[in-house]
Amino acid sequence: MIRVEGVGKTFAQRGGAGYTALEDIAFEIGKGEFVSILGPSGCGKSTLLNLVAGLERADRGRVEANGKEVTAPGPDRIVVFQDHALYPWLTVLENVAFGLKQKGIKKKERRERSMEQIRAVHLGKFADRYPHELSGGMKQRVAIARALVMDPEILLMDEPFAALDEQTRLLLHKELEQIWLNTRKTILFITHNIREAVTLSERVLVMSTRPGRIKKEFHVRAARPREPGDSVLHHIESQIMDTLAAELEKVAKEEYGND
């Protein structure tokens, strides 16, 4: 469970006033919920995820995970980044097993637990390959298996599929949905892709920008597994598009000025 209360974050800027990236952020994510945070580039999505991960500290307000204040990264919250950051000198199996080895888990158990997660992302045949022998989508699946093997209560995903081509992304949406249905992990998923947010989540929090705030919340009450043609998804997608249009206009005005 994640609770964010009155959170604000201001970054120091060269020569003058700080830049307020986040202001007055408040939301809760229940145990086992899949929630996306959606917003235009630069609205503070990654900063928010980093606060929950414990990689950054809030200047104002409070962040809680599983009833405890977040002050540092912890094994209950594991982050999957866009850049999978696998160790190139380790095989798929060794990459996935790495965290278990650090924890002192014996080799046999490491192997069993890692292979279970590798199979869950359909990479059973590739366990002995090295990262450079894999496609982008396969590497990202290894990153997901590596996070899941640690069995965290909360999975924090920062645009994990943003660098992938459309077909691969759709395939990974299906896999992640299945993983979520099987494990019921609490997932906080960051994206700027409306379709992705709506397809995957139970709830979408749409952010406004400068400063980043939660502008609106959408509940996605569509059947699982989600079908691309589902009219409920399309309806919410267009509502979110309307909500975001005003934000994008604001960003364009500030960035282009009167050009």
Ligand X SMILES: Nc1ncnc2c1ncn2[C@@H]1O[C@H](COP(=O)(O)OP(=O)(O)OP(=O)(O)O)[C@@H](O)[C@H]1O
Specify the 3-state DSSP secondary structure of 157. strand
Pairing of the two strands 154-158 and 186-191: parallel
HSE toward the beta carbon, residue 173, CA cutoff 13 A: 22
Least gap, CB of 51 to ligand X (angstroms): 10
Least gap, CB of 254 to ligand X (angstroms): 11
Question: Which residues, in sequence order, are CB contacts of 253 under 8 Å at separation 6+?
Answer: none
Residues that bind ligand X (CB under 6 A): 11, 19, 21, 39, 41-47, 192
Least gap, CB of 157 to ligand X (angstroms): 13
Q: CA quadruple 152, 155, 156, 162: dihedral positive or negative?
A: positive
Would you tell me how many other CB atoms lie within 10 Å of the CB of residue 117?
Answer: 22
Cβ closest to ligand X, residue 44 vs residue 160:
44
Least gap, CB of 12 to ligand X (angstroms): 7
Cβ closest to ligand X, residue 85 vs residue 181:
85
Residue 20, Ramachandran bin (φ over 0: left; ψ between -120 and 50: alpha; else beta): beta
Say how far apart CA 186 and CA 180 lie, in whole Å: 8
Cβ closest to ligand X, residue 43 vs residue 123:
43
Cβ closest to ligand X, residue 114 vs residue 191:
191
Specify the 3-state DSSP secondary structure of 108. helix
Least gap, CB of 203 to ligand X (angstroms): 18
Which residues, in sequence order, are bridge partners of residue 68? 65
HSE toward the beta carbon, residue 161, CA cutoff 13 A: 23
Least gap, CB of 227 to ligand X (angstroms): 28
Q: Crossing angle, helix 136-148 and helix 92-102, to 10 degrees?
A: 20
Cβ closest to ligand X, residue 11 vs residue 87:
11
Specify the 3-state DSSP secondary structure of 49. helix
Cβ closest to ligand X, residue 44 vs residue 137:
44
